[in-house]
Amino acid sequence: MAILVTSRSPLPIPSIQQDCAITFTELGPPSDAVEPFKQLILRSHASELRLYCTVPTWNSSSDNCLDLQELHQLRTKFLILIHDIVQALRSSGVAASYVLVPSSSSHCIMCAGGCSDLASAVGILQKTRLDNRHGVLLADLGVPCLIIT
């Protein structure tokens, strides 16, 4: 089941403290991220889960999408990853679904928490420089998060 949330404005960015330490684990290509993320979710969640995911919209100041073709490729990779993770979770007995939220962030972010957790993650990541290009990062931002750059 997929739900598309439409909005005219990007996610609200809450006030986040800058001094929080974030540890990123580089997972390589998107296909290599499915199993570690699934295992992390299985350890921390019950039998039902909704993933909240940002879908980047065009932002001229984007640091990882130079043109609309790169933005389209990033979104395509992310949607395939979402479907792979949902399928892996469902095959493990978790009733998984997802929500897509348009965002002005230049990164695709998937959180295994609520919409407020996703907004917090976007806020934290906008203040964090991610030098990894074309990879998948795993972070614990209060909830498990995957970031595609």
Q: What pLDDT is recorded for position 3?
A: 45
Under the banding of pLDDT at 50, 70 and 90, the label for residue 130 is: low
For residues 19 and 39, give the distance between their C-alpha atoms in angstroms, rounded to a whole number.
Answer: 29
The per-residue pLDDT for range 15-64, each reduced to its tens digit, is: 333 345 677 888 888 888 899 989 888 887 678 889 999 888 876 655 65
Q: Which amino acid is at 133?
A: R
Q: What pLDDT is recorded for position 18?
A: 37
The per-residue pLDDT for range 57-92, each reduced to its tens digit, is: 876 655 656 678 888 888 899 999 999 999 999 999
Provide the H-helix boundaries in the chain. Answer: 34-44, 68-91, 115-126
The per-residue pLDDT for range 1-19, each reduced to its tens digit, is: 444 443 333 333 333 333 4
Element (H, E) at 102: strand 95-103
The CATH topology of domain 25-148 is Rossmann fold (3.40.50)
